[in-house]
Amino acid sequence: MNCIIIDDEILARTIIGGFCSNVQEINVVGEFPNAIEAIKFLNHHEVDLIFLDIHMPDFTGFDFIQTLKDPPKIILTTSDKNFAIEAFEYECIVDYIVKPITEERFFKAIQKAKVVELPQINGTAKRSTMVNEDTENHLYVNIDRRLIKINIPDIYLIEAKGDYICVKTDAKNHIVHSTMKKIQEKLPQELFLKIHRSYIINLRRIIDIEDNSVLIAKDVIPVSRSNKPELMKRLNLL
């Protein structure tokens, strides 16, 4: 198995690399101090396994996984025990090792990586970052290094705020470091529509429409001229 190691600590990369050298089936093809460099590498190379730290500057391990369209098997290596439950919401994560890593625990993870098969769809491995059976009804957002679960039908409005977006639900508003394009790709198209460059709305939560604006909950949202025809087309007009 070709693998890469992603960890901002050089000692951790050295230890994992040393353990890998003792496993005949493992071939380390790259070591990276941050996720950005690893992403650049993966744009041109395929690997079978990634050893991934969770806490890294600027880009966490979970952020990194979200960028992968077709993630391989991943073994998380971290000094933080608090993310084990969130980690196993990802089918691509096959094990979770808490530092300091012992050789015995490392080999146990390797054995698990060898035998675990990612789910198959029409004979092709499905490598998904959303793994719940009800993934169509939920999404996870990264807030303060925690993955927060949000019920998609509860979202009534998404607003762009610079480098962040505000995901509004009846219960709570969530400020997330993301783009409108990225979250729009995660939302069911039949339920949500971008009506302005700064707003995505839940069509089922519209209260009324007047001229070039819609009322959702207590928010009056502008509708751009270019998006209004699609909005009218999507409405169930009498």
Residue 145's pLDDT is 66
Residue 127's pLDDT is 38
pLDDT average, residue stretch 154-182: 91
Question: In angstroms, how far is the first alpha carbon of the chain from the final one?
Answer: 60
For residue 34, the Cα-to-chain-centroid distance in whole angstroms is 17
Q: What number of residues does the chain have?
A: 238
Residue 91 near residue 116 (C-beta atoms within 8 A): no
pLDDT average, residue stretch 162-176: 91
pTM above 0.85, yes or no: no
pLDDT of 48 above 60: yes
Per-residue pLDDT of 13-29, as tens digits, reads 999 999 999 999 899 99
Domains of the chain: 2-125 (3.40.50.2300), 135-234 (2.40.50.1020)
pLDDT of 131 above 60: no
What DSSP line would sit under the chain, residue for residue? Answer: -EEEEE-S-HHHHHHHHHHHHT-TT-EEEEEESSHHHHHHHHTT---SEEEE-S--SSS-HHHHHHH-SS--EEEEEES--TTHHHHTTSTTEEEEEESSPPHHHHHHHHHHHHH----EETTEE---S--STTGGGEEEEEETTEEEEEEGGGEEEEEEETTEEEEEESS-EEEES--HHHHHHHS-TTTEEEEETTEEEEGGGEEEEETTEEEETTEEEE--TTTHHHHHHHS---
Beta-carbon count within 10 A of 168 CB: 21
Cis check for the bond before 153: say yes or no (omega within 30 of 0).
no
Residue 158's pLDDT is 95
Q: Name the band, by pLDDT with cuts 50, 70 and 90, for residue 197.
A: very high
Residue 118's pLDDT is 62
Q: What is the mean pLDDT of the chain?
A: 86
Q: Name the band, by pLDDT with cuts 50, 70 and 90, for residue 129.
A: very low
pLDDT of 218 above 80: yes
